[in-house]
Structure 1
């Protein structure tokens, strides 16, 4: 692609525009996929609280089994719900792909005058999208399983200690609240992770082998990521050690420490179009 750039350019490299997905895409994932599960547990929690109140007041031989049945019943209902969320996950993944593709097209057009509209499409990212759909399906199931475990712990710890219903109700509702907060964090990270992976794929497809690290500017960043800000990297060993405008090209970080991969990392990798390396 670099060879198709505007002739006569004296710059040795151009850093393409950043692809920074809007937070609304994370909100969309939470609302469409994670929140239905959280809300289902919120509804189930009230039934479990009522069952606990009845159980702790009676404390008959069958009473603990009754509240266990209420927990298991809520979990079964939510497990069925999780299976129905896959189409929503696919729609969300496609919306992220469409956003990244549009921004990538605009960045390339701005830098080179080349319009990629007719040569790139969602089918190029089919496997990545499928991976993220499956990943999120597992994450949603895990959010539900963790909520069940926390609620169960609150209930049976309460029964063993004969805690008042109001105290256990507080613990149960707190378990639901924790699931909600975790879901929001997951949705945010999944957006950062998927958009970063899609941007990497587009860069590789275009034959651009150098990228610049862009630190997220978050309040509590990983210090090694801060140090990488503005530095150039490559996945091609043959380019390691070369320089562009005096900046040395380094080996790319390990796959498990790329931008957006680690939990809640908001860093990004900006494609660099290199026309000429330093002598």
Structure 2
């Protein structure tokens, strides 16, 4: 649904640009065109990442279904084991009752019987006791199997919950990223203007979205911003603020910083912004983008 909304927004941009053409800066230099090509490549990479994300979501969903099926099978096996244990318990109870009956019926006779006849019932009693012991052993084994199955079911349930939490966290992360991209692409639905740096504007939610996108994938964010500028989207104020924040961010690579600075020279040529150009050079070595002197 987000991709459909994004496509609809792009179509709406084309229609607005056809109705209200906007004057853009002069044709960029060869170096600018080269960087623009790299930015377009970054936008294409974002599309590929989206496809990989959808494939990963499908894999996680299938894995969750497989785990649920395994848990259902183990639960059925545990129920079958419980039924067998109940049957063996009833059989053991009946055997014990039968032993009690035999013991009660085995009363010493008033007239002693022949020695051979007197030994018949004790032998049967011993055999029955042996059967009872064997049944008790089987019941104990079944109880052990049941405990093992219950432990396996519990482990699988914990694994399923952990997988679901990771899945939800990943979905929330990418939903925030694509939500930020969608908010950037919707010209008429900007939540609010930015001032100097994302996070200090009039709309905290909008600033947090931009911060989140920049923190997770600044390279793709620059590509999206270039796409907005190339499509003549009239949001140069917030666009310049986002680019300025990206350039000032110390966590981004030099490549991302230079791309953002190059785009900023096209969006807002009057912007004065200094940044280090060589990590190994002294801190005083800086370059000023915009209409200013280079140092």
TM-score scaled by length of structure 2: 0.20
Greater relative contact order (CA < 8 Å, ≥ 6 in sequence): 1
Larger CA Rg, structure 1 vs 2: 2
Of Structure 1 and Structure 2, which has the larger fraction of its residues in strand?
A: 1
Tell me the TM-score normalised to structure 1 length.
0.21
